[in-house]
Amino acid sequence: MARRILYPARTISGAASVPGDKSISHRYALLAALAEGTSQIRNFSPAEDCRRTLACLQRLGVRIVQQDATVNIVGAGPAGLRPSWRRLDAGNSGTTARLLAGVLAAHSFVSVVDGDRSLRRRPMRRVIEPLERMGARITAREGDFLPMEIAGAPLRGIDYELPVPSAQVKSAVLLAGLLADGITTVTETVRTRDHTELALAEFGAELERGERTIRLLGRQRLQARQLSVPGDLSSAVFLLAAALVLPGSSLTLHGVGLNPTRTAVLDVLAGMGAPMRISGLTVQHGELAGDISIESAGLSGGKIAGPHVAQMIDELPVLAALGPYTEQGIEIRDARELRVKESDRIAVLAENLRRMGARVEEFPDGLRVDGRTRLHGAELDPAGDHRMAMACAVAALGAEGESRLRDPGCVAVSFPNFFELLDQLTTR
């Protein structure tokens, strides 16, 4: 298995852009496939996860031409996908599997969705249950895991209250609702990322949005669009965190997505004392974006808990990795969901941070990482999880001595040029 040496660095400085947002890219691709006409999506995410969504759509008969970061998708029209005799392989991508399930539930043929070892361990019952209520028949291994066989059918709209705060589940129900008869209403207790709602409106669907409720009339037709994807904040955060680990750093990231349902992590960092400045705000297709500048600073640390952890679920790993570099340490609670991500992120973080000398206490729903701890180089194993690899890399930047990271290629799942950018921007 390949390994990468992680050298400690002195500073991270300069300006860069991060790849297009993964969540938004999935949604634009799926909606373009259901629209009428040819859509063009610029700055499409180079993430392996998004490549899986495109490959699945191609298997379902959608014509897609990609040149670098520009993707042209010829819409198949509402419920216009064709059956695939081969399994639809979502790879490592929960978003591909769950959102596609919503779309396939409304297509009157049988599809099989599968994924890699990690995705096969992740719960699917959460999408199966509402989609069956809408009229699809879905069988999954042990009722909860991939591979799942989806027998699509004409669906009817439902009123659905999300039992877990999950944008993937919300989106699966909304995509099925778009193709169903009648009205679908989704209610969430915590507002999760709303890219699906914004993208539906952009493709011409009418939907009513309340504080926590989305109401969508089914059988609406979508129109092809010319779109551009902002940079991925969840990727940018790893570089911002690097600036907080390395004194004397000063970094600007251009064109980063700043959708308010995604920026809770920036509020937490600012609250801990990170000096950040946002400039050049724009809104494209309903999505806010801008440049983020950050300077290094001592962080206070503190406790992150409560319902809003769902709004920074993907950024909790890097916040934990900052723990040793803070005054009071960082405690994360109410984040049990981390255990069913690409890996058991609580266990994998605890293990790797401890290998570097951090003091970590693990809880069923989170972890506490003590502050003011000098880390040392170690053998690190991200368990094949992209965000674990990048969180380890950030922690290792300020450690004494080199670390060796197993399977560094797994970062391609969301941020293929992460190590290149880090090498370009850091000084040793």
Binding stretches for ligand S3P (CB under 6 A): 23, 95, 166-168, 171, 193, 313-314
User: Cα(330)–Cα(332) distance, rounded to whole angstroms?
Assistant: 7
- Nearer to ligand S3P by Cβ, of 291 and 337: the residue is 337
- Nearer to ligand S3P by Cβ, of 190 and 278: the residue is 190
- Nearer to ligand S3P by Cβ, of 256 and 299: the residue is 256
Decide if 314 is catalytic.
yes
User: Cα(50)–Cα(43) distance, rounded to whole angstroms?
Assistant: 12
Q: Minimum CB separation from ligand S3P for residue 171, in Å?
A: 6
User: Cα(254)–Cα(273) distance, rounded to whole angstroms?
Assistant: 22
**CA distances to 4, 32, 352, 384 from 236, in Å:** 21, 26, 22, 20
CB 379 within 8 A of CB 403: yes
CB 202 within 8 A of CB 39: no
Question: Phi and psi at residue 123, in whole multiples of 5°?
Answer: -70, 135
- Nearer to ligand S3P by Cβ, of 196 and 296: the residue is 196
- Nearer to ligand S3P by Cβ, of 167 and 176: the residue is 167
Which amino acid does the sequence have at 165? P
Q: Minimum CB separation from ligand S3P for residue 301, in Å?
A: 23
- Nearer to ligand S3P by Cβ, of 30 and 356: the residue is 30
Which is nearest to 245 in space by CA: 404, 409, 391? Answer: 391
Q: Looking at 314, 370, 381, 407, which residue is catalytic?
A: 314
Q: Minimum CB separation from ligand S3P for residue 201, in Å?
A: 17
User: Cα(67)–Cα(89) distance, rounded to whole angstroms?
Assistant: 22
Q: How many residues does the chain have?
A: 428
Q: Which residues are bridge partners to 161 per DSSP?
A: 187
Which is nearest to 315 in space by CA: 297, 338, 291, 281? Answer: 338
Q: Minimum CB separation from ligand S3P for residue 35, in Å?
A: 19
Q: Minimum CB separation from ligand S3P for residue 401, in Å?
A: 32
Q: Minimum CB separation from ligand S3P for residue 169, in Å?
A: 6
Q: At a CB cut-off of 8 Å and minimum separation 6, what does 278 contact?
A: 258, 290, 291, 292, 293
User: Cα(315)–Cα(310) distance, rounded to whole angstroms?
Assistant: 10
User: Cα(313)–Cα(309) distance, rounded to whole angstroms?
Assistant: 6
| Residues labelled catalytic | 314
